Structures are given as C-alpha cells and as structure tokens.
Amino acid sequence: MKFSTTIKLTLVVIGLLISPLIYSQNREVTEDSRIWFGYMTSTQINSRYSWWNDFHYVPEGFFVLRTGITRHLTNTAITAGYGHLWLPVSTANTVLQRHEYRPWAQIQFNLPVTHHFALLQRVRYDARFIQDIRNEQPVDEFTFTNRIRFLTSLKLTWGNPANEIIIPYVAVSNEVLLNFGESVTWNTFNQNRASLMVGLQKKNIQLQSGYMNMFIQTGDNRFTSYHTLVLWVFHKFKMTEKKMKRGEIIHN
C-alpha cells in the first residue's frame, strides 16, 4: 500500500473513532443558531504554486481574514500562512473586539474516486495567540494554544459530462478540532463541524449553501450546538489557463 494511501485511510479511522467519543460524554448542551458568510479565493501563480485567501463572518461569532501560499503536488497540496481573527469578548459580550493571531499550515489530499465522486482529506495546524480578557475588556496579553484539525469531505457532482457549463453538486463533510499544549486543561476537544451542502459550479466559481452543526465546548462538560446556515463563495483566479476541476473540493 502506498504511503499516501495509508495516511488517507488513517485519517478516516481517526475521524470515525473520535466522533463517537465526542458525542458519548455526559454533558450540558445549549442549542443556538448562526449564519456563516464566507468568500474564498485561490490565485494560480503557476503549475506549482497558488495564493490562497479567505474571508469569513459569523455575526457575534467571529470575523476571519486568512492568507497563505500553496505548493501543489500530485493530488496533494501543502499550504502555510497567517490568519487574523476578531472574536467575541465573552459569551455575554458578543462584540468582536478580541484579537487572535494565527499562523497556520495544512496538508490536503484530493482523491478523485470517479468522474462524479471525489474525496478530500485534510490535516490543519493552527498556532493560536488569543487575546486575554480581564473585567470584560481585552488586555495586551495573549494565551498560546495549539490546535490540530482533521477534515474529511465528500463531493458528488451530477449532470451530463459533455455539458459542463453549470455543474450541480452535493458535499458532506466532518471536521474534528482538538487543542493541545501546556495551556490546555479541560478542553482537549475544541469542536466538531458536520455539514451537508449543495452547490453550483460555473467555470471557476462555486456557490455553496447548506447546513452545518458546530458542536463547541464552552466549559468543563458544557457545550453549545450551533445550527448554522452556511453561504459560501469559492473563486479561482488564473495567472495561467488552468480551470477548476469538475470534482475539485475547496473548503474553508
């Protein structure tokens, strides 16, 4: 078995093993709703490199500006970059005034299974420098936390392959986010994001919308389940003539 195939299978097993542990805990769960706006771009520089940018806004949740450089290999992409986030001061004060500085890196495996079906496996690392809060006010001190993220996404397209002006698709994904490091005590589990979305792809633009459940740990054995409406736009710009592939999966 090839090494890359072993990695992909390992990540699938990790996702299947961790998710039941998350949902089997004795816990206090609060239900809430959100809407998530996202705009993601990839600018192809040449056959080996592209420039990634994404922007996300969840009212009273977060605002994200993120950038990175991607090195493309066969069915594999490695990206490293920096993100800046604005977060709520607290659960009671949801004004986005708390800063987070986030260097990040990821490796992503894109596996076209058939002409209509594609699988994505991704491992992302976040180095999180989160602003401290005292008396409901941000201060000039930061707490550092490591976070590792495991994403699995499946995409199914349909339609006549000979007529690819507009390609409809459905995508299902699950991402587990885990904290680690000296500053982590009760919250090794950070959150789980499970989604079911539909979309349309036209040339180098994808419009995608659907439902995401964000199951987030907010305290010792306390969790919030956010029922989230997602509205995302993916846009690939070209310095070359490379098109977005039919089965290509792009994720935030």
- Reply yes or no on whether the pLDDT at 16 is more than 80: no
What is the average pLDDT score of the chain? Answer: 87
Residue 251 lies in a domain: no
Residue 252 lies in a domain: no
Residue 170 lies in a domain: yes
In the 3-class helix/strand/coil scheme, how is the chain assigned residue by residue?
CCHHHHHHHHHHHHHHHHHHHHHCCCCEEEEEEEEEEEEEEEEECCCCEEEEEEEEEECCCEEEEEEEEEEEECCEEEEEEEEEEEEECCCCCCCEEEEEEEEEEEEEEEEECCCCEEEEEEEEEEEEEEEEEECCEEEEEEEEEEEEEEEEEEEEECCCCCCCCCEEEEEEEEEEEEEECCCCCCCCEEEEEEEEEEEEEECCEEEEEEEEEEEEEEECCEEEEEEEEEEEEEEEEECCCCCCCCCCCCCC
User: Residue 188 maps to which CATH number?
Assistant: 2.40.128
- Reply yes or no on whether the pLDDT at 162 is more than 80: no
Residue 22 lies in a domain: yes
- Amino acid 175: pLDDT: 97
User: What domain range includes position 76?
Assistant: 3-238
- Reply yes or no on whether the pLDDT at 125 is more than 60: yes
Residue 250 lies in a domain: no
For the chain, what is the domain count? 1
Residue 75 lies in a domain: yes
Residue 249 lies in a domain: no
Summarised one tens digit per residue, pLDDT across range 68-103 is: 999 999 999 999 999 999 999 988 899 999 999 999
Summarised one tens digit per residue, pLDDT across range 194-221 is: 999 999 998 899 999 999 999 999 888 8
Residue 48 lies in a domain: yes
- Reply yes or no on whether the pLDDT at 226 is more than 80: yes
